């Protein structure tokens, strides 16, 4: 499975260059944009370190610096990605420096954070970069000492020739090594010999975080910088008609008030250019507080939007989308969904003959599940710094995928990409929302208009009511059982506003002879986007809850019930496009069963709920132990089992899973954004309930399946099954099933 040599012929690309002042730099491009020529580039002139980019920098005095290529939003890639390089480079982790790399897709690869892809997509290229650099240093030492390179060994940043007793630091050979052509086919380390990766390393930015250093976009400042805020309609389905800024302009510190368009008519959006409100009413002033206050004095007349069409050129080609007019309310949306759920839907997968199986069934179980829109609620509200002139643009701030937004910036500002510099700050959360680029474009346009450096700041209310939510979902699950209560057919019919969540080729697809998956959708002017494990975060709630009820109905243990299905899925799978590996899926269930003491008598005092799910290439299972605290259901303990292949930084990985569990409990119990006449009914944390410490479990015990499989994602996979496990524990705790999220809204009626 593992290709353990470096490979320059395909996607990965390595080149080295001499640092200003001497030294070796290795950089990589994950984009197959140009051919590898094997030659080195010599950079002369400046002595400034900051002018050189790439993954690895080594100075003659043996300072070793590793650059993290990928945006950091709390998944700790600032630590884990450099660890991968350090492993193959063979350096002492305690002695290296780590810093955020520049945005440069040609040198540093795709540079996007999303889809739990950071470690997965950089695993091989970063190993190759580290191994190639080490090999070049070895060659440099071999040439200097006039000995065969095969006799050179390394240890923790030092090169050795045992026979002659010679040794020297990487720094001593860095300059020479940088002139050596990039080697091909360098052998990568055996994973079993790793001594940096798979060992817990503290967050390299920990000290800066706990001392409040200016790491975030919100903290970015520059001489002469103005603050801009946007007044957007207070309801979806409305737009700016006219405004009177007379009073606003009289307020202290206010520089300008104006309206402008985000995109000109007919603009072809890229896949992540999502817009909610196209007419921007902008207030610019000296400080955030002054602008916030002055906004209150605006006199604005809003008017209803007309239905419109947007052309979106996404990853899957060009798509024309109709955005309906109207002011939507949650109650009417639910009624529409309920009606449409009964209508024929689009078939997504069919195995066997589900209709006949249902007709002949001895028992049919049917349940419907719903979930509301969710706001991302990143703790750092959206913001971006922009300084745009006629010649160039400097953009600084928190974004998950600067490479996706840069082409749009280029088009809109009419500047070539090489005149656009995007600097990536640490993000105060992202959860998918920061993959969308509207606020970057807005900042750029505002700076261009006012001819000054500006920081666009969203207030919490702006952030929560702008849109790009997790969609609103509904799904009906049906199961047909024979007289012995064996599952003979499974049917999922899922819908959503404006998209459904059905993943037709995931478990239990492949384990049931007769299977049908269908989807339906209702257009909306409320915008949606990726939210931690898109789609999966609803599927794992509904499907895993349904399977629990199904197991109960069949008189089977919920884990054994799933394991039996997975056995079938492995031995004699139904259909061809099953996305998951039945063995690995069963693996996490078996692990969580063992670690949680699933059948142990002392655990009977808990209301236990189990769920498992596969998404983003990884497998996760949880057992949630619920009790009553102050008369309310409380998740006191959680056991988690994960299979994401090789775990790069174990303690940080545990932290990620623990956080996903808490986030999952919070969203399952409390999360939800509702609308009345287009307006969000929650616009800040006084109305939008977030999970707080008193509701967080006392312990979350995390276990990883140990294997040598190339690593896959971890940010998203543990999140979805939490919802299902919580639902299943609630059933035990409250004596009834919960079908509608957020679950806590039904507690009072109990």
Partner 1 sequence: MAVYNLKINGQTKQVDVDPATPILWVLREHLDMPGTKYGCGVAMCGACTVHLNGVAVRSCQLPVVAVGNKEITTIEGLSENGDHPVQKAWLEHDVAQCGYCQTGQIMTAAALLKANPHPTEAQIDTAMSGNVCRCGTYVRIREAIQSAAKQQ
Q: Which of 88, 90, 310, 663 binds partner 1 (CB under 8 A)?
A: 663
Q: Which of 154, 377, 524, 744 binds partner 1 (CB under 8 A)?
A: 377
Q: Which of 53, 658, 728, 741 binds partner 1 (CB under 8 A)?
A: 658
Check binding of 746 to partner 1 (CB under 8 A). no
Bridge partners of residue 41, in order along the sequence: 17
Angle at 402 between CA 667 and CA 324, to 5 degrees: 60
Any alpha helices (H) in 519-607, and if so which ranges?
536-554, 558-571, 582-595
CA distance 501 to 531: 12
Q: Give the nearest distance from C-beta 288 to partner 1 in angstroms.
A: 6
CA distances from 558 to 404, 488, 553, 610, 721 (A): 43, 17, 10, 7, 14
Reported as half-sphere exposure (CB side, CA atoms, 13 A), residue 304 has a value of 9
Q: Give the nearest distance from C-beta 246 to partner 1 in angstroms.
A: 20
Q: Give the nearest distance from C-beta 694 to partner 1 in angstroms.
A: 4
CA distance 501 to 494: 7
Give long-range contacts, CB 8 A cutoff, 24+ apart: 405-411: 405/272, 405/273, 405/437, 405/440, 405/441, 406/103, 407/270, 408/269, 408/270, 408/273, 408/437, 408/441, 409/437, 409/440, 409/441, 409/444
375 vs 566 by CB, closer to partner 1: 375
Say whether 520 sits in a helix, a strand or coil.
strand
Q: Give the nearest distance from C-beta 210 to partner 1 in angstroms.
A: 4
Check binding of 224 to partner 1 (CB under 8 A). no
Nearest to 396 by CA among 460, 454, 451, 449: 454
Q: Which of 87, 88, 90, 205 binds partner 1 (CB under 8 A)?
A: 205
Check binding of 523 to partner 1 (CB under 8 A). no
Instruction: Please report, as residue ranges, which positions from 250 to 289 form the binding site for partner 1 (by CB under 8 A).
Output: 252, 287-289
Q: Give the nearest distance from C-beta 450 to partner 1 in angstroms.
A: 18
Say whether 642 sits in a helix, a strand or coil.
strand
Q: Give the nearest distance from C-beta 625 to partner 1 in angstroms.
A: 14
361 vs 661 by CB, closer to partner 1: 661
Angle at 430 between CA 584 and CA 609, to 5 degrees: 40
Q: Which of 28, 123, 216, 738 binds partner 1 (CB under 8 A)?
A: 216
Any alpha helices (H) in 572-675, and if so which ranges?
582-595, 650-669
466 vs 580 by CB, closer to partner 1: 466
CA distance 592 to 597: 8
Q: Give the nearest distance from C-beta 221 to partner 1 in angstroms.
A: 8
Q: Give the nearest distance from C-beta 435 to partner 1 in angstroms.
A: 15
Check binding of 671 to partner 1 (CB under 8 A). no
Check binding of 557 to partner 1 (CB under 8 A). no
Check binding of 628 to partner 1 (CB under 8 A). no
CA distance 479 to 491: 6
Q: Which of 426, 478, 608, 675 binds partner 1 (CB under 8 A)?
A: 426
Check binding of 374 to partner 1 (CB under 8 A). no
218 vs 528 by CB, closer to partner 1: 218
Reported as half-sphere exposure (CB side, CA atoms, 13 A), residue 85 has a value of 28
91 vs 375 by CB, closer to partner 1: 375
Check binding of 442 to partner 1 (CB under 8 A). no
346 vs 692 by CB, closer to partner 1: 692
14 vs 691 by CB, closer to partner 1: 691
Binding window for partner 1 (CB under 8 A); candidates: 125-133, 255-263, 498-506, 680-688: 680-688
Bridge partners of residue 323, in order along the sequence: 308
Q: Where on the phi/psi map is residue 45: left (φ > 0), alpha (ψ -120 to 50), or beta?
A: left
Check binding of 428 to partner 1 (CB under 8 A). yes
Nearest to 346 by CA among 522, 518, 495: 518
Nearest to 495 by CA among 469, 514, 468, 477: 477
CA distance 28 to 11: 10
CA distance 731 to 19: 62
281 vs 427 by CB, closer to partner 1: 427
x/- mask, partner 1, residues 388-407, rule CB under 8 A, reads --------------------
Check binding of 359 to partner 1 (CB under 8 A). no
Nearest to 633 by CA among 695, 698, 721, 540: 695
Check binding of 222 to partner 1 (CB under 8 A). no
Check binding of 534 to partner 1 (CB under 8 A). no
Say whether 259 sits in a helix, a strand or coil.
strand
x/- mask, partner 1, residues 683-722, rule CB under 8 A, reads -xxx---xxxxx-xxxxx----------------------
Q: Give the nearest distance from C-beta 682 to partner 1 in angstroms.
A: 11
Check binding of 29 to partner 1 (CB under 8 A). no
Q: Which of 191, 394, 427, 551 binds partner 1 (CB under 8 A)?
A: 427
By 3-state DSSP, what share of the chain in percent is helix, strand and coil, each rounded to 5?
30, 25, 40
Nearest to 712 by CA among 631, 625, 618, 641: 618
CA distance 439 to 103: 18
Check binding of 409 to partner 1 (CB under 8 A). no
Check binding of 516 to partner 1 (CB under 8 A). no
The 10 Å CB-count burial string (b at 16+, else e) for 61-92 is: ebbbbbbbbbbbbbbbbbbbbbbbbbbbbbbe
Angle at 706 between CA 703 and CA 710, to 5 degrees: 115
Binding window for partner 1 (CB under 8 A); candidates: 172-180, 265-273, 515-523, 660-668: 660-668
Residue 489 main-chain phi, psi, to 5 deg = -155, 150
689 vs 731 by CB, closer to partner 1: 689
Q: Give the nearest distance from C-beta 194 to partner 1 in angstroms.
A: 20
Q: Which of 28, 272, 385, 431 binds partner 1 (CB under 8 A)?
A: 431
Q: Where on the phi/psi map is residue 236: left (φ > 0), alpha (ψ -120 to 50), or beta?
A: beta
Q: Give the nearest distance from C-beta 254 to partner 1 in angstroms.
A: 12
- Report DSSP state, residue 186: P
Q: Which of 86, 533, 662, 668 binds partner 1 (CB under 8 A)?
A: 662
Distance, first Cα to last Cα, the chain: 53
The total number of residues shown for the chain amounts to: 750
45 vs 212 by CB, closer to partner 1: 212
Q: Which of 210, 301, 483, 748 binds partner 1 (CB under 8 A)?
A: 210
Which is it for the CA torsion 553, 557, 559, 561, positive or negative? negative
Binding window for partner 1 (CB under 8 A); candidates: 312-320, 361-369, 587-595, 661-669: 661-669
Instruction: Please report, as residue ranges, which positions from 47 to 106 form the binding site for partner 1 (by CB under 8 A).
Output: 73-76
302 vs 531 by CB, closer to partner 1: 531
# residues near partner 1 by CB under 8 A:
65
Using an 8 Å Cβ cutoff, are 132 and 98 in contact?
no
Q: Which of 221, 222, 246, 572 binds partner 1 (CB under 8 A)?
A: 221
Check binding of 209 to partner 1 (CB under 8 A). yes
Binding window for partner 1 (CB under 8 A); candidates: 51-59, 158-166, 290-298, 444-452: 290-298
197 vs 420 by CB, closer to partner 1: 197
| Residues that bind partner 1 in the complex, under the rule CB under 8 A | 73-76, 202-203, 205-207, 209-216, 218-219, 221, 252, 287-290, 292-293, 376-381, 426-431, 459-460, 651-652, 655-656, 658-663, 666, 684-686, 690-694, 696-700
């Amino acid at each position: 499975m593992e290709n353990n040599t470096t490979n320059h012929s395909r996607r990965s690309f390595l080149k080295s260059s001499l640092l200003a002042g001497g030294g070796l730099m290795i950089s990589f491009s994950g984009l197959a944009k140009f051919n590898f020529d094997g030659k080195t580039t010599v950079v002369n002139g400046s002595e400034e370190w900051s002018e050189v980019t790439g993954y690895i920098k080594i100075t003659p005095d043996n300072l070793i610096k590793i650059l993290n290529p990928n945006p950091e939003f709390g998944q700790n890639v600032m630590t884990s990605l450099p660890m991968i390089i350090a492993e193959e480079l063979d350096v002492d982790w305690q002695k290296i420096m780590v810093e955020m790399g520049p945005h440069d897709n040609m040198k540093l690869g795709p540079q996007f954070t999303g889809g739990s892809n950071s470690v997965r997509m950089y695993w091989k290229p970063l190993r190759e970069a580290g191994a190639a650099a080490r090999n070049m240093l070895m060659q440099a030492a071999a040439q200097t000492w006039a000995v065969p390179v095969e006799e050179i060994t390394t240890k923790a940043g030092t090169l050795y020739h045992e026979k002659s007793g010679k040794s020297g630091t990487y720094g001593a050979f860095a300059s020479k090594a940088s002139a050596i052509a990039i080697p091909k086919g360098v052998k990568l380390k055996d994973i079993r010999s790793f001594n940096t990766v798979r060992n817990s390393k503290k967050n390299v930015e920990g000290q800066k975080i706990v001392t409040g250093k200016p790491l975030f976009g919100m903290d970015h400042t520059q001489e002469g910088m103005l603050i801009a805020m946007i007044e957007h309609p207070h309801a979806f389905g409305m737009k700016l008609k006219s405004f009177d800024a007379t009073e606003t302009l009289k307020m202290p510190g206010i520089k300008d008030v104006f309206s402008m368009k985000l995109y000109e008519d007919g603009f072809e959006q890229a896949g992540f250019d999502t817009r909610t409100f196209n007419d921007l009413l902008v207030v610019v002033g000296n400080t955030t507080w002054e602008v916030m206050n002055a906004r209150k004095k605006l006199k604005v007349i809003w008017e209803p939007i007309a239905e419109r069409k947007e052309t979106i050129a996404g990853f899957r080609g060009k798509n024309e989308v109709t955005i309906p007019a109207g002011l939507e309310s949650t109650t009417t949306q639910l009624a529409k969904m309920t009606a449409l759920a009964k209508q024929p839907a689009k078939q997504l997968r069919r195995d066997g003959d589900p209709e006949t199986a249902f007709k002949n069934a001895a028992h049919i179980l049917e349940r419907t599940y719903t979930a509301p829109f969710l706001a991302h609620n990143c703790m750092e509200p959206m913001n971006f710094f922009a300084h745009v002139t006629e010649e160039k643009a400097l953009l600084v701030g928190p974004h998950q995928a600067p490479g996706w937004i840069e082409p749009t910036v280029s088009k809109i500002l009419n500047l070539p990409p090489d005149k656009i510099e995007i600097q990536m700050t640490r993000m105060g959360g992202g959860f998918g929302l920061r993959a969308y680029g509207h606020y970057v474009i807005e900042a750029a346009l505002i700076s261009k208009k006012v001819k000054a450096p500006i920081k666009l700041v969203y207030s919490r209310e702006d952030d929560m009511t702008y849109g790009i939510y997790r969609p609103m979902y509904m799904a009906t699950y049906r199961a047909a059982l024979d007289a012995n209560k064996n599952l003979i057919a499974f049917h999922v019919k899922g819908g959503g506003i404006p998209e459904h969540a059905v993943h037709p080729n995931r478990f239990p697809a492949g384990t049931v002879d007769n299977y049908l998956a269908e989807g339906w959708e209702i257009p909306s002017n409320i915008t949606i986007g990726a939210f931690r494990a898109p789609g999966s975060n609803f599927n794992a709630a509904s499907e895993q809850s349904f399977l629990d009820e199904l197991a109960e109905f069949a008189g089977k243990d919920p884990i054994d019930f799933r394991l039996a299905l997975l056995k079938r899925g492995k031995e004699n799978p139904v259909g061809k496009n099953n996305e998951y590996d039945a063995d690995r899926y069963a693996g996490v269930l078996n692990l969580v069963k063992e670690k949680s003491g699933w059948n142990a008598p002392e655990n009977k005092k808990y209301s236990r709920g189990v769920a498992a799910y596969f998404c983003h290439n990884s497998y996760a299972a949880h057992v949630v132990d619920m009790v009553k605290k102050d008369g309310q259901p409380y998740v006191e303990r959680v056991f988690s089992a994960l299979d994401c292949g090789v775990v790069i930084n174990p303690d940080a990985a545990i932290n990620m899973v623990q956080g996903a569990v808490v986030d999952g409990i919070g969203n399952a119990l409390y999360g939800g954004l509702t609308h009345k006449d287009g307006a969000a009914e929650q616009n800040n944390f006084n109305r939008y309930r977030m999970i707080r410490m008193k509701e967080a479990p006392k312990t979350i015990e995390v276990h990883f399946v140990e294997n040598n499989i190339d690593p896959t994602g971890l940010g998203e996979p543990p999140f979805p099954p939490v919802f299902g496990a919580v639902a299943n524990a609630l059933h035990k705790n409250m004596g009834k099933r919960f079908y509608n999220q957020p679950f806590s809204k039904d507690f009072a009626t109990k």
